[in-house]
Amino acid sequence: MSASRTLFHLIRADVLERTRRRSFLVIVAATLFLGYLVVNGTIGLHLGRYRGVMNAPWIGLMMALCGTTFVSLFGFYAVKNAVARDRQTGVGQVLAGTPIGKLPYLAAKALSNFLVLAVVIALLALAAILLLLIRREAGTVDVRALLPPFFFLALPAMFFTAALAVFFESMPGLRGGLGNIAFFFLWILLLILPLATRSLWTDVTGVRLAMDRLQTDIRALAPDYDGHFTLGIENGAPHDKIPLRWRGMDWTAQDIGWRLLPLGWAVALIAFAALVFDRFDVKAPHREKSARRPGRRTGSGNGLLKPPELALRLLAVVLDRTRFGRMLLAELRLMLQALPWWWHGVAVTLWVFTLIEDPAFSRAALLPCLSLWPMFLWSAMGTKEIRERTWPVLFSCPRPVARQLPALWTAGALVAYAMVSGLMVRLLIAGDLGVVLAIGAGALFVPTLALALGVWSGGSTAFEIVYFLAWYLGPLQHMPALDFMATGDASILAGTPVIVLLLTTLLGLAAVFGRLRFLRL
């Protein structure tokens, strides 16, 4: 079989496997939601006193920049499971026994990642066409003027993201939670660095290039333009702003050359990943000899002992059918035990800061961090039983819905409350009971969302994408309707905590219904 045919089948199988999973629908839904936020004007491109007239080039650029910025964030988490899935299902070990090399394998995974992300960008392009149809202020529905930013800005950024996901999956220290957290900071760095250094060498998202060209064009149209450039949520009604008719970027060979640069970085990442990739080599299992420490009673032979008297002793096993505490402790321990020491260290540090810092600062700046830090802990809720295949045993235990599920939910909520407890104490002392209640509602909402999405999707990706998007727009960008943690007063005034509580109730019911449905299959 030729190398290209091998590559094709690796990519095909991977794309089919992904797109047939329920979590892919969540990716599509998150993309459509992002497109909707742009269409309704919540997210946009802001130029200070000025704004672009809604024509094909402006809408195309705006939507493509949203894609390159936000999809590179949640898209990374959405696709960073291609190698992990092969590892988990055992397919990886089968592939490792074939002549497929590490480089072709990882290249296939990167290309498969890219195809998934390209679908997301294509959906955003469709949303841009829709936006052009319903909110066009000038020009014609010129798709040729609308699409170039998607090709030259968004797709190279997606290719880079796809390769970066494979790179993270290949590095032993970056596969798990640490890698997920590290990527978030890397994502911020990749956005800030080209803006701070004014260099295009690190401009993988293309925002710097687009900004440079746009600022030059706008200055030509409005000499007093101060260079303001924001992509995201900005207060101020659009009709207060002066419309400028931007005619789009002239994509020169040099511009296209700069946009090919992320592809080069991506290839380098894949090549480096191939050098360190373990090719599904498993860790050496514990030797049986290690089971026999001197002086310990461990039996005379390998493996199972001949049943001694204890096997026949019918222990008077006392079943504790009603108490919930032991199950809760067990779930809490399971949740926290897998986390490394530094995770606890950062959590405690953040918590201490909320105790000693000004509550207003803590609420605006630290609360978003506190509500993000345990994200990967919450995202395992309702999914770890499926992922680790412990569910047949666990769900055949007494009262799996009445005891295990509430215990799991309570453990997640306790973690959320522990994270925000320092701030809540400070706010209580300051007499801000309303804010305390609003934050309390948010702390109930997050684990409930995780549990419901985990139970229904069977994986952690759905929660990670939905939560990241909501967290970015809400607690981080302080968009009142999505600020479920009440990081600003605007969300309380908008009645968001009430909606959050209502949603929490519905999601809780959905989780219970989902688990019952699973048990009835």
Binding mask 401-430 for another protein (x = CB under 8 A): --xx--------------------------
Q: Judged by CB under 8 A, does residue 20 bind another protein? A: no
Give the range of 256-264, 270-278, 318-326, 415-423 binding another protein by CB under 8 A. Answer: 318-326
Contact 497, 438 (CB under 8 A): yes
Chosen residue from 29, 171, 330, 425 binding another protein by CB under 8 A: 330
Q: Name the residue among 167, 161, 160, 9 with its Cα closest to residue 83.
A: 167
CA 64 to chain centroid = 20
Report DSSP letters for 406-429, one per residue.
HHHHHHHHHHHHHHHHHHHHHHHH
Q: Judged by CB under 8 A, does residue 306 bind another protein? A: yes
Q: How far apart are CA 238 and CA 51, in angstroms?
A: 7
Taking the chain, what is the end-to-end CA distance rounded to the nearest angstrom? Answer: 41
Q: Judged by CB under 8 A, does residue 317 bind another protein? A: yes
Cβ neighbours around 279 below 10 Å, total: 16
Write the single-letter amino acid at 189: L
Q: Judged by CB under 8 A, does residue 81 bind another protein? A: no
- Residue 160 token pair: 């880079």
Phi, psi of 44 (to 5 degrees): -165, -175
Give the range of 36-44, 105-113, 387-395, 489-497 binding another protein by CB under 8 A. Answer: 387-395
Chosen residue from 2, 5, 396, 429 binding another protein by CB under 8 A: 396
- Taking the least distance from each CB to another protein, the nearer of 89 and 254 is 89
Chosen residue from 1, 134, 310, 356 binding another protein by CB under 8 A: 310
Q: Judged by CB under 8 A, does residue 235 bind another protein? A: no
CB 284 to another protein: min, Å: 8
Q: Name the residue among 35, 123, 27 with its Cα closest to residue 81.
A: 27
Site for another protein in 118-137 (CB under 8 A): none
CB 293 to another protein: min, Å: 6
Size of the site for another protein (CB under 8 A): 60
CB 325 to another protein: min, Å: 9
Cβ neighbours around 252 below 10 Å, total: 10
- Taking the least distance from each CB to another protein, the nearer of 49 and 292 is 292
User: What is the 3-class SS of 160-198, one letter each residue?
Assistant: HHHHHHHHHHHCHHHCCHHHHHHHHHHHHHHHHHHHHHC
Q: Judged by CB under 8 A, does residue 89 bind another protein? A: no
CB 334 to another protein: min, Å: 6
Cα 128 to Cα 32, 33, 70, 442, distances in angstroms: 11, 13, 15, 33
Q: Name the residue among 498, 503, 499, 496 with its Cα closest to residue 449.
A: 503
Q: How far apart are CA 143 and CA 120, in angstroms?
A: 18
Chosen residue from 134, 275, 315, 429 binding another protein by CB under 8 A: 315
Q: Judged by CB under 8 A, does residue 337 bind another protein? A: yes
CB 316 to another protein: min, Å: 8
- Taking the least distance from each CB to another protein, the nearer of 228 and 326 is 326
Site for another protein in 275-304 (CB under 8 A): 283-286, 288, 290-293, 296-299, 301-304
Q: How far apart are CA 80 and CA 110, in angstroms?
A: 10
Contact 244, 222 (CB under 8 A): yes
CB 393 to another protein: min, Å: 6
CB 521 to another protein: min, Å: 7
CA 492 to chain centroid = 26
Give the range of 27-35, 179-187, 385-393, 434-442 binding another protein by CB under 8 A. Answer: 385-393
Chosen residue from 99, 173, 223, 398 binding another protein by CB under 8 A: 398
- Taking the least distance from each CB to another protein, the nearer of 223 and 392 is 392
- Taking the least distance from each CB to another protein, the nearer of 173 and 301 is 301
Q: Judged by CB under 8 A, does residue 327 bind another protein? A: yes
The DSSP bridge pattern shows strands 242-244 and 50-52 to be parallel
CB 183 to another protein: min, Å: 21
CB 444 to another protein: min, Å: 24
Give the range of 244-252, 398-406, 422-430, 486-494 binding another protein by CB under 8 A. Answer: 398-406
User: What is the 3-class SS of 44-90, one letter each residue?
Assistant: EEEECCEEECCCHHHHHHHHHHHHHHHHHHHHHHHHCCHHHHHHHHC
Q: How far apart are CA 54 and CA 40, in angstroms?
A: 12
Q: Judged by CB under 8 A, does residue 209 bind another protein? A: no
Alpha carbons within 13 A on the beta-carbon side of 171:
20
- Taking the least distance from each CB to another protein, the nearer of 148 and 177 is 177
- Taking the least distance from each CB to another protein, the nearer of 56 and 405 is 405
Q: Judged by CB under 8 A, does residue 173 bind another protein? A: no
Q: Which residue has the tokens 């392009």?
A: 125
Cα 238 to Cα 59, 130, 135, 247, distances in angstroms: 15, 19, 13, 19
Give the range of 344-352, 389-397, 462-470, 479-487 binding another protein by CB under 8 A. Answer: 389-397
Give the range of 102-110, 154-162, 236-244, 315-323 binding another protein by CB under 8 A. Answer: 315-323
Q: Name the residue among 180, 118, 230 with its Cα closest to residue 375.
A: 180
DSSP annotation of 289: G
The DSSP bridge pattern shows strands 44-46 and 230-232 to be antiparallel
Question: Applying CB under 8 A, which residues contact another protein?
Answer: 283-286, 288, 290-293, 296-299, 301-308, 310-321, 326-327, 329-330, 333-334, 337-338, 384, 388-400, 403-404, 519-521
